[in-house]
């Protein structure tokens, strides 16, 4: 009988694809059991959509000043009121979502890449390399994170980019220690020993065996760290070390409006609510992912 050729329309490895699909289905099945986590996902998806389409949704320009309409309370014309320059607060919050979410995601991605790389090297190779890297982590963790971020921005200069860099730096030890502790256990597993015995290079062992099995705690911690990064960016903006005027960053909006807290509380209330909901959403997602990725929770 003639040998059947592999059709290019068929997947090259249907077993692997089925495994990945089954994993994602099982992950979602476990995740949606946590109703609060589903609510958190909905909150973040809503903010992402608002941030992406802020230019279309925002009723006014973010820096469009109307001096005759300063500090107006929420109304049918200005749903969230106006600030001390007569700017529409709703428009500025929508555009501020872009800045806050960008800072959160970019800073955490940088922390994950650097922290994972350094943590894998420390945990896998051990000895003096591990000792040196671990002491570096201890030094960074010895400082309160926000004070370390303030010190870094003070040296580099106040700006949103420098605040982003500072937030990324202070979160590197968190990911580094998580990955290091995970790698210390994984490198003693039988399948890693078998890979070494057949002469597989360390780099291939790390890429194909160590990293894939270290992703669960990294994903959970990254989700939680996005919330922390947004909060830290808001704190730096509030102190005048992050985003600079007239950027509509939420922390900066709080700082600019604190003088009018009693006269026009809505100028502080709504940016604060935006920060609270975003941080809450990411924390709920992190809790849901932690439960979904816990082997004890799987059926």
Backbone angles phi, psi at 131, to 5 degrees: -60, -45
pLDDT at residue 250 greater than cutoff 50: yes
Q: Which residue has the higher pLDDT, 64 or 96?
A: 96
Percent of residues in the chain assigned helix, strand, coil, to nearest 5: 75, 0, 25
Cα–Cα distance for residue pair 173/13, rounded to 1 Å: 38
- What confidence score (pLDDT) does residue 274 get? 95
Please list, residue by residue across 248-265, b when 16 or more beta carbons sit within 10 angstroms of its beta carbon and e when fewer do: bbbbbbbbbbeebeeebe
57-71 pLDDT, tens digit each: 988 888 888 878 889
Cα–Cα distance for residue pair 73/266, rounded to 1 Å: 7
> What residue spans define the domains of the chain?
51-62+77-297
- What confidence score (pLDDT) does residue 3 get? 44
The per-residue DSSP string of 114-157 comes to HHHHHHHHHHHH-HHHHHHHHHHHHHHHTS-HHHHHHHHHHHH-
CA-nearest of 108, 121, 227 to 170 is: 108
Q: Are 217 and 178 in contact (CB under 8 A)?
A: yes
Alpha-carbon distances of 213 from 194, 201, 219, 248, rounded to whole Å? 16, 18, 12, 40
Total count of residues recorded for the chain: 299
pLDDT grade, residue 5 (50/70/90)? very low
111-165 pLDDT, tens digit each: 999 999 999 999 988 889 999 999 999 999 998 888 999 999 999 999 989 999 9
Has domain 51-62+77-297 been given CATH number 1.10.10.10?
A: no
- What confidence score (pLDDT) does residue 24 get? 77
In percent, how much of the chain has pLDDT > 70?
91
255 HSE (CA, 13 A, CB side): 20
Q: Are 84 and 257 in contact (CB under 8 A)?
A: yes
- What confidence score (pLDDT) does residue 189 get? 84
How much is the average pLDDT of 64-83? 88
Identify the three-state secondary structure at position 75.
coil
The per-residue DSSP string of 226-295 comes to HHHHHHHHHHHHHTTSSS-TT---HHHHHHHHGGGTTT-THHHHHHHHHHHHHHHHHHHHHHHHHHHH-G
**Interhelix angle for 127-141 vs 160-186, to 10°?**
140
Please, which residues bridge with residue 88 across strands? 82
Q: What is the mean pLDDT of the chain?
A: 86
CA-nearest of 177, 176, 168 to 111 is: 168
pLDDT grade, residue 13 (50/70/90)? low
- What confidence score (pLDDT) does residue 150 get? 93
Cα–Cα distance for residue pair 151/116, rounded to 1 Å: 24
Q: Are 242 and 187 in contact (CB under 8 A)?
A: no
């Amino acid at each position: 009988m003639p040998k059947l050729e592999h059709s290019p329309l068929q997947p090259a490895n249907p077993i692997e694809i089925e495994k990945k699909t089954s994993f994602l289905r099982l992950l979602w099945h476990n995740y949606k059991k946590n109703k609060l986590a589903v609510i958190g996902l909905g909150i973040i998806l809503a903010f992402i959509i608002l941030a992406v389409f802020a230019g279309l949704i925002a009723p006014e320009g973010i820096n469009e000043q109307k001096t005759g309409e300063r500090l107006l309370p929420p109304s049918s014309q200005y749903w969230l009121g106006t600030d001390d320059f007569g700017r529409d607060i709703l428009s500025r919050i929508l555009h501020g979502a872009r800045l806050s979410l960008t800072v959160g995601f970019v800073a955490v991605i940088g922390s994950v890449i650097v922290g994972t790389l350094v943590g894998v090297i420390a945990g896998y190779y051990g000895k003096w390399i591990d000792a040196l890297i671990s002491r570096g982590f201890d030094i960074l963790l010895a400082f309160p994170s926000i004070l370390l971020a303030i010190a870094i921005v003070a040296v580099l200069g106040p700006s949103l980019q420098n605040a982003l860099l500072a937030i990324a730096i202070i979160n590197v030890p968190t990911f580094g220690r998580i990955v290091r502790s995970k790698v210390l256990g994984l490198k003693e597993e039988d399948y890693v020993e078998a890979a070494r015995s057949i002469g597989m290079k360390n780099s291939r062992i790390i890429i194909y065996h160590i990293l894939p099995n270290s992703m669960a705690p990294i994903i959970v911690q990254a989700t939680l760290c996005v919330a922390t990064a947004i909060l830290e960016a808001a704190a730096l903006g509030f102190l005048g070390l992050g985003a600079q005027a007239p950027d509509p960053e939420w922390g900066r909006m709080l700082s600019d409006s604190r003088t009018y807290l009693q006269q026009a509380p809505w100028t502080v209330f709504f940016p604060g609510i935006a920060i609270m909901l975003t941080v809450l959403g990411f924390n709920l997602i992190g809790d849901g992912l932690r439960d979904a990725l816990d082997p004890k929770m799987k059926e």
